[in-house]
Amino acid sequence: MGTMAARLAVSRWVAARAAARRGPLVSCRRWSGVATDTVYDVVVSGGGLVGAAMACALGYDVHFCDKKILLLEVGPKKVLEKLPETYSNRVSSISPGSATLLSSFGAWDHICNMRYRAFRRMQVWDACSEALIVFDKDNLDDMGYIVENDVIMHALTKQLEAVSDRVTVLYRSKAVGYTWPYSFPMADSSPWVQITLGDGSTLQTKLLIGADGHNSGVRQAAGIQNVSWNYDQSAVVATLHLSEATENNVAWQRFLPSGPIALLPLSDTLSSLVWSTSHEHAAELVSMDEEKFVDAINSAFWSDVNHTDFIDSAGTMLHYAIAFLKPTKVSARQLPPSVARVDAKSRALFPLGLGHAAEYVRPRLALIGDAAHRVHPLAGQGVNMGFGDISSLVHHLSTAAFNGKDLGSMSHLTGYETDRQRHNTALLAATDVLKRLYSTSATPLVLLRTWGLQATNAVSPLKEQIMAFASK
Ligand SMILES: Cc1cc2nc3c(=O)[nH]c(=O)nc-3n(C[C@H](O)[C@H](O)[C@H](O)COP(=O)(O)OP(=O)(O)OC[C@H]3O[C@@H](n4cnc5c(N)ncnc54)[C@H](O)[C@@H]3O)c2cc1C
């Protein structure tokens, strides 16, 4: 059995290498525009970070060299003529797994040539007690990377330009309607999904990939149920200048009763803020004067105003018990850097919510990224989940293409759905529970989470499992 599988893998690899050397089996056509009712193999609707990366991944897949791929994006093309000196206020924490995906089609090289910041340690702690958890790697491997969204988008756009003979990108093009094929095709009906664009033109595709964000029109047109709710919080983002230059390779997050505040490293002297708090407080934070804003951040990280003697004593008791039972090292607390000022005009706020599509696939349809799941930013996982969707979907589609199967068939689309729903529902549930558990200063819950966090911090295998899950 093992030998057979190995043989199959080798023969596939040899065939793929030969195909790559030979070039496309069927000549790859260049498409300069959309003719009415052009039939594409795959159309990706929505060219945000996830949709653009999906189109890239397919464009560089050796089994897709004879396929016609189209990316539709309602917004303009986003390339950076020159790297701006000022950092953007929209950044993402990119996991090693996501970096591997971006490397697989050359986008990570662009990012490395522009700018990003690796972090090697993550410290998460409670504002209501001394409890904390520290994630770090003994071998000094990177835990993740903070990258500006504009830089990722630039890298993806450059890589899409390089495969423009396989992937057509239509910017400023809005998909306004989707028509699904009949389950039982009639003589004159099309077997493909028909897409109508804002200018009235139409096109068809064998597989539609919905990557059009959390308000996905694709998901709505398909009538797929979406479990969703808005949180009572908005996230305030800003670019911050630290009081002094440091190694700045730690991602910090403190859970305040009003919501988590995170400081993500950008350079020796700059960090990015993501502060989730009530809508009213968020509005206040973005409009208050800069000095007051900086004071509010420093106090959010340093103040012990939410501590109580009872919780502190209970936490200390468990701390001593752990030290007695496990005299080996438990990661030590570090102090976060203090903030000196905020970049002018870098403050912005984003309302937060959770969403999860009941189905990720239907015949001739797959949902990816925020169109399939929307998550609170406290775990820094939204775009990473989307990139994980891409790795899985491309794997299933590439196998189908290699075997000459219909790309829109449920036989491989369900494989994608099973893989990803398993991972994504676990993450969504864990994030939602954390958000709720920490949005209170009620003593029993504070005690529960204090002991839970201290115990988790002391159990290395558990921490390693959490790190392995988050780094996918
Ligand atoms: C404050 C904040 C901080 C975050 N931090 C992190 C982090 O550190 N790490 C992380 O992994 N995630 C993070 N996230 C989440 C992450 O930003 C999102 O998960 C990710 O951007 C979703 O990408 P997407 O491409 O799926 O959707 P979107 O970014 O919403 O893109 C959808 C695209 O589809 C286009 N579109 C929509 N409708 C149509 C149409 N009809 N026709 C054509 N085009 C259309 C839109 O123009 C858009 O470009 C954060 C989110 C927030 C709010």
Q: Is the pLDDT of residue 26 over 50?
A: no
Mutate to test the pocket of ligand 1, among 274, 383, 389 (most ligand atoms within 8 A of CB): 383
pLDDT of residue 317: 60
Q: Is the pLDDT of residue 347 over 50?
A: yes
Question: pLDDT by residue (tens digit) across 159-171?
Answer: 999 999 999 999 9
The pTM of this model reads 0.87
Q: Is the pLDDT of residue 39 over 80?
A: yes
Determine if ligand 1 sits within 6 Å of the CB of residue 355: no
Atom of ligand 1 nearest to the CA of 235: 1
Q: How far is the CA of 95 from the centre of ligand 1 (A)?
A: 16
Determine if ligand 1 sits within 6 Å of the CB of residue 388: no
CA–CA distance, 329 with 196 (Å, rounded to integer):
61
pLDDT of residue 453: 67
What the block records as the tokens of 256 is 């305040």
Expressed in angstroms, the distance from the first to the final Cα of the chain is 29
For the segment 333-356, the average pLDDT, to the nearest whole number, is 94
* Residues contacting 285, CB < 8 A, separation 6+: 236, 275, 277, 293, 296, 347, 349
Atom of ligand 1 nearest to the CA of 274: 1
**Hey, how many other C-beta atoms are within 10 angstroms of the C-beta on 317?**
11
For residue 381, what are the CA distances in angstroms to 96, 144, 387, 468? 12, 11, 10, 13
Q: Is the pLDDT of residue 12 over 50?
A: no
Residue nearest to atom 29 of ligand 1 (CA): 48
Mutate to test the pocket of ligand 1, among 44, 56, 71, 74 (most ligand atoms within 8 A of CB): 74
Q: How far is the CA of 241 from the centre of ligand 1 (A)?
A: 26
Q: At what angle do helices 443-458 and 460-470 cross, to 10 degrees?
A: 90
Determine if ligand 1 sits within 6 Å of the CB of residue 92: yes
The more confidently predicted of residues 63 and 472 is 63
What the block records as the tokens of 93 is 């924490």
Question: pLDDT by residue (tens digit) across 444-456?
Answer: 777 676 766 676 6
For the segment 363-368, the average pLDDT, to the nearest whole number, is 97
Determine if ligand 1 sits within 6 Å of the CB of residue 235: yes
Q: How far is the CA of 213 from the centre of ligand 1 (A)?
A: 5
Determine if ligand 1 sits within 6 Å of the CB of residue 177: no
Atom of ligand 1 nearest to the CA of 384: 11
Determine if ligand 1 sits within 6 Å of the CB of residue 380: yes
Determine if ligand 1 sits within 6 Å of the CB of residue 49: yes
Largest distance between two CA atoms of the chain:
77
pLDDT of residue 358: 97
Supply the DSSP string of 22-52, one letter for each residue.
H--SSPPPP--S--TTEEEEEEEE--SHHHH
Under DSSP, the state recorded for 115 is -
For the segment 292-296, the average pLDDT, to the nearest whole number, is 97
| Low-confidence winner among 34-48, 53-67, 351-365, 381-395 (lowest mean pLDDT) | 34-48
Atom of ligand 1 nearest to the CA of 352: 53
Residue nearest to atom 21 of ligand 1 (CA): 383
Question: pLDDT by residue (tens digit) across 44-84?
Answer: 999 999 999 999 999 999 999 999 999 999 999 998 989 99
What the block records as the tokens of 310 is 């009872």
pLDDT of residue 16: 35
pLDDT of residue 18: 37
In 230-342, which residue ranges form alpha helices assigned H by DSSP? Answer: 279-287, 290-302, 309-325
pLDDT of residue 24: 29
% residues pLDDT > 70 (the chain) = 82
CA–CA distance, 61 with 40 (Å, rounded to integer):
16
Q: How confident is the model at residue 28 (pLDDT cuts 50, 70, 90)?
A: very low
Atom of ligand 1 nearest to the CA of 49: 25
pLDDT of residue 132: 75
For the segment 324-338, the average pLDDT, to the nearest whole number, is 71
Q: How far is the CA of 355 from the centre of ligand 1 (A)?
A: 13
CA–CA distance, 426 with 388 (Å, rounded to integer):
14
Atom of ligand 1 nearest to the CA of 211: 26
CA–CA distance, 93 with 470 (Å, rounded to integer):
11
